Amino acid sequence: MSSWPALFAAAVSMWLILKGPAAKKPSWVQKTCRLAMAFFLYSAFLYLLKWNPFWRWISSVDFETRNKAEGFLILISTLVWIIATLRILLRGSRFPAFRRLENHVPRQENGRRRLSLTDLALFYLFMRK
């Protein structure tokens, strides 16, 4: 079961597609890419858990037994995948009770970046002697 590298590569390729050609596509295309990326990552992690060299390498972590550790990691990864999937599906749908009361003014892009207080603090921190 060494197909986990291919699944991780598929997830990275979906991310590249999402950042490139799908960046200006409709939201349903972007959601589909995000769902596919989450599924590929989840599947790759599950295949990695079934790969015996992984458990030989991780034996230094001192888990009690492989079965308990594997079951716990499968449970955690499944919960993370479900939460990620729900977040992807529900992104963009806002409930009226959670809307901000103030008016949102869009930022004007003028091409110049202003210095912030954080920039000045970091400059002072690294340039002092």
> Which pLDDT score is estimated for 97?
45
State residue 125 phi and psi, 5-degree precision: -65, -45
Give me the percent of the chain exceeding a pLDDT of 70.
77
Q: CB under 8 Å to 35, separation ≥6 — which residues?
A: 85, 88, 89
Is the model more confident about 95 or about 15? 15
> Which pLDDT score is estimated for 61?
64
> Which pLDDT score is estimated for 109?
65
Q: For the whole model, what pTM was predicted? A: 0.63
